[in-house]
C-alpha cells in the first residue's frame, strides 16, 4: 500500500492527535452478513513511538460509548477528555515512554470511524442501511489497520466491556498476533441478562418518534429522548444499589418536591447522564453497537466457548469487579478456567460496579503494569 494510504499516521505524530486510515484499494469491506461497503475509514490515535522491530505496540480497545481518545484533554474530534487518563501516559501503567499505544474508534461508532452517520458515495448518511455489525467485523477492520501500521503482532491487547469482547476476538481469531491479552469486566459470550439490557436500550431509541426508522439525519431532529432513556437504563446497570443508596437514598432533587411532580436525586442523575450522552453520541451508533454486543460469542461456529478459548496462545490476565452486576465475576472465572495461558483471576474491589474498570485507577494501574511485564 502506498504511503498515501497509510492514512495520516506518521511515526512520532503528536500524542492523542486523531488520525485516519482509509481502506478502499483492497476491495470492499465485507461484513459477516455478506453486506459490503466500498470505502471504510478508521479514526485512531497513537501515543509513544513504535520501535524499529515494531514489537512494542499495545492495542487499547474502548467500550460502548468510548472512542479513540484514551488519554489527553478534550479537543477537536474528541469532545471529552481521555477515558483512561490515569492509566495510559508517560510513566503510567501503560507507559507511553515504553510502548506504542494505538486506540481505534470502533466500526459502527460515532467518532470518526465509518458508522451509520457516515456518508455514502452519493453524500447520503447510511442510517438504516448500515450493515448489521458484529464484534468480528470490528476486529477484522482493526486487523486491516494493524497491517497498514506494519504491526504483525501486538505486544498486548487490552480491553474492558465491549473492548474486552474485541480483545478476546483478537486472541481467538488472530492468535498469532497477540502476545499478551488483558481482559476486563466481560465474558466469553453475552448472557441473557446482557442481551435483555441491550434490547431494551435499542427499543427505547427506536420508540422515539424522531428515530424515523433510523433515517433522521436530514430531518433536523434526532431521537435524543430515546437515546437518553437508553443511556439511563445502561447507567442503572453500570453502577450498584449500594452506591446509589449511599449517594442518593430517597433524597429529592434540590429545589424539587417529588409528591408535586418533582424528581428524586437519583432520577436527576440518570437524566443527566442520558442527556450528556445524547449531546455527543449518535443514536444509530448506539443501536448498531448494542446489537453487536448482543451477538458476542467467541464460540460461535468454533465448536463452542471452551473450544475457542482453548486456542488462545497469549499470556492472559483477566480482571473482574466484585460488584459488577452486568458482567459478574462468574463470567471472568470461566475465562480463567478455559484459557490455558491465563493467570489467576484479579479482582477489583469497588462499590462502583461495572464502571469500576474505568474509575478504579489506583487498583487497575498495578494490575495492568504487572500484566504487561508477565
Alpha-carbon torsion 237, 243, 249, 254, what sign?
negative
CA–CA distances in Å: residue 361 to residues 92, 93, 94, 322, 364: 10, 10, 12, 15, 5
- Separation of alpha carbons 274 and 5, rounded Å: 38
State yes or no: is 324 an active-site residue: yes
Active site residue 354: yes
CA–CA separation, 76 and 93 (whole Å): 26
Kind of pairing between the strands at 100-104 and 156-160: unpaired
Report whether 266 contacts 97 (CB < 8 A).
no
| Apex 43 CA angle, 6 and 62, nearest 5 | 130
The residue from 68, 117, 118, 161 that is catalytic is 161
Residue 202's nearest CA partner among 290, 296, 282 is 290
Write down the catalytic residue from 95, 208, 324, 355.
324
What does 270-302 look like in DSSP terms, one character per residue?
HHHHHHHHHTTS-HHHHHHHHHHHHT-BTTTTT
161 is catalytic: yes
Q: Which residues are catalytic?
A: 161, 324, 354
Amino acid at each position: 500500500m502506498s504511503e498515501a494510504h497509510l492514512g495520516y499516521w506518521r511515526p512520532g505524530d503528536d500524542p492523542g492527535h486523531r488520525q485516519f486510515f482509509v481502506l478502499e484499494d483492497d476491495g470492499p469491506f465485507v461484513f459477516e452478513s455478506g453486506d459490503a461497503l466500498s470505502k471504510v475509514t478508521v479514526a485512531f490515535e497513537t501515543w509513544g513511538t513504535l520501535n524499529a522491530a515494531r514489537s512494542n505496540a499495545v492495542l487499547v480497545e474502548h467500550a460502548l460509548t468510548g472512542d479513540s481518545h484514551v488519554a489527553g484533554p478534550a479537543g477537536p474530534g474528541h469532545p471529552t477528555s481521555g477515558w483512561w487518563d490515569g492509566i495510559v501516559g508517560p510513566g503510567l501503567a501503560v507507559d507511553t515512554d515504553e510502548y506504542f499505544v494505538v486506540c481505534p474508534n470502533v466500526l459502527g461508532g460515532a467518532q470518526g470511524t465509518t458508522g451509520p452517520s457516515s456518508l455514502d458515495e452519493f453524500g447520503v448518511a447510511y442510517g438504516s442501511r448500515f450493515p448489521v455489525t458484529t464484534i468480528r467485523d470490528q476486529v477484522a477492520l482493526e486487523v486491516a489497520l494493524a497491517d497498514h501500521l506494519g504491526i504483525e503482532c501486538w505486544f498486548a491487547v487490552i480491553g474492558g466491556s465491549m473492548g474486552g469482547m474485541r480483545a478476546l476476538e483478537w486472541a481467538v481469531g488472530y492468535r498469532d498476533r497477540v502476545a499478551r491479552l488483558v481482559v476486563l469486566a466481560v465474558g466469553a459470550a453475552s448472557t441473557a441478562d446482557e442481551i435483555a439490557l441491550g434490547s431494551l436500550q435499542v427499543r427505547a431509541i427506536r420508540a422515539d418518534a424522531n428515530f424515523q426508522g433510523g433515517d433522521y439525519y436530514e430531518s433536523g431532529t434526532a431521537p435524543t429522548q430515546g437515546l437518553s432513556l437508553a443511556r439511563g437504563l445502561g447507567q442503572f446497570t453500570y453502577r450498584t444499589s449500594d452506591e446509589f443508596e449511599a449517594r442518593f437514598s430517597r433524597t429529592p432533587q434540590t429545589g424539587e418536591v417529588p409528591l408535586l411532580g418533582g424528581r428524586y436525586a437519583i432520577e436527576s442523575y440518570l437524566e443527566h447522564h442520558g442527556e450528556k450522552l445524547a449531546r455527543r453520541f449518535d443514536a444509530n451508533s448506539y443501536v448498531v453497537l448494542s446489537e453487536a454486543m448482543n451477538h458476542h460469542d467467541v464460540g460461535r461456529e468454533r465448536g463452542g466457548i471452551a473450544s475457542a478459548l482453548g486456542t488462545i496462545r497469549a499470556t492472559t490476565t483477566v480482571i473482574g469487579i466484585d460488584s459488577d452486576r452486568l458482567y459478574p465475576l462468574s463470567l471472568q472465572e470461566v475465562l480463567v478456567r478455559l484459557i490455558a495461558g491465563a493467570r489467576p483471576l484479579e479482582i477489583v474491589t469497588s462499590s462502583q460496579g461495572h464502571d469500576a474498570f474505568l474509575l478504579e485507577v489506583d487498583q487497575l494501574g498495578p494490575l495492568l503494569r504487572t500484566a504487561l511485564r508477565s
